């Protein structure tokens, strides 16, 4: 339970969020790196640890970065894949999987590429930026199996031998059309929009909260820090999602 004395996450605010959610016909949730922070996966704005402290994700997570040095980019992704494989979903991920069974309709859009929502039991997850654990063939532009005989070199497609890349959306790349359309429709149709663990800085994902506001949804933000969305949110729960989300569920009728 949330400590009633914590100034930023009062029981009254948790109650207001729970009341709005309990009245909702359709809840749209957008999650960012913050919901996986309590699973030990560094957020994009955390200083990258160790070797990666001197590289900028905005440089590595781009087609130009991959073109320039595919080996370095693959090292970075293999390091992150290892983190993701060792991580477990936390109470925030599990709370969202439970929430989907407590409301008439829930659409979960994630900017995260770690697959932790699915491992917590969420279904129909819209992976707005792809999934780090899948490989994509740069020639056929499809998710592909990895050839076993690439030796120590760069991973190659089992089907055509083409260079593989992680199946994620890099900066400067389009969001997959299906994800874009489904997320836009949910943001425009929902009664409650839950923005969880995102700095609301990366577009077009950050435009979903704006669309929800324009269409009259109640916007609730869960984040220990303030973001660009905070001033326009109807309810701001200033705390970690692993603590706040279970507290909101506890107060649902």
Which residues carry out catalysis? 129
Nearer to ligand BV8, 105 or 204 (CB): 204
Number of other CB atoms surrounding residue 23 within 10 Å? 12
User: How many other C-beta atoms are found inside a 10 Å radius of the C-beta of residue 170?
Assistant: 18
**Shortest distance (Å) from residue 118 CB to ligand BV8:** 16
| Minimum distance from residue 88 beta carbon to ligand BV8 (Å) | 15
For residues 223 and 38, give the distance between their C-alpha atoms in angstroms, rounded to a whole number. 12
Nearer to ligand BV8, 55 or 119 (CB): 55
- Write out the H or E segment, with its range, that includes residue 137: strand 130-137
Which residues of the shown chain bind ligand BV8 in the complex (CB under 6 A)? 32-35, 37-38, 43-45, 58, 61, 111, 113, 129, 168-174, 197-199, 201-205, 222-225, 227, 240-242
Map tokens 């960012």 to a residue. Answer: 32
Return the number of the residue (36 or 107) whose C-beta is nearest ligand BV8. 36
d(CA 141, CA 149) in angstroms, rounded, equals 21
Angle at 236 between CA 234 and CA 242, to 5 degrees: 135
User: Which of residues 16 and 128 has its CB atom nearest to ligand BV8 in the complex?
Assistant: 128
Instruction: Determine contact, residues 51/222, Cβ cutoff 8 Å.
Output: no
Minimum distance, C-beta of residue 25 to ligand BV8, in the bound complex (Å): 26
């Amino acid at each position: 339970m949330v400590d009633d004395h914590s100034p930023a996450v009062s029981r009254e605010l948790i109650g207001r969020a729970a009341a709005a959610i309990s009245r909702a016909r359709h809840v749209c949730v957008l999650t960012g790196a913050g919901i996986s922070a309590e699973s030990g996966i560094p957020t994009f704005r955390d200083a990258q640890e160790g070797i990666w402290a001197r590289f900028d994700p905005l440089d590595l997570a781009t087609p130009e970065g991959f073109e320039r040095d595919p080996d370095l980019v693959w090292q970075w992704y293999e390091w992150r894949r290892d983190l993701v494989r060792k991580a477990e979903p936390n109470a925030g991920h599990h709370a969202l999987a439970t929430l989907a069974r407590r409301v008439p309709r829930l659409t979960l859009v994630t900017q995260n590429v770690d697959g932790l929502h699915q491992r917590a039991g969420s279904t129909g997850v819209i992976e707005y930026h792809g999934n780090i654990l899948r490989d994509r063939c740069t020639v056929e532009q499809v998710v592909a199996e990895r050839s076993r005989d690439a030796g120590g070199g760069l991973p190659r497609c089992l089907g055509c031998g083409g260079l593989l890349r992680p199946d994620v959306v890099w900066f400067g790349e389009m969001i997959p059309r299906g994800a874009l359309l489904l997320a836009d429709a949910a943001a425009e149709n929902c009664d409650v929009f839950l923005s969880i663990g995102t700095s609301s800085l990366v577009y077009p994902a950050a435009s979903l909260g704006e669309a929800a506001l324009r269409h009259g949804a109640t916007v609730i933000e869960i984040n220990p820090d303030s973001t660009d969305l905070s001033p326009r949110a109807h309810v701001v729960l200033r705390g970690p999602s692993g603590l706040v989300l279970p507290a909101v569920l506890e107060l649902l009728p």
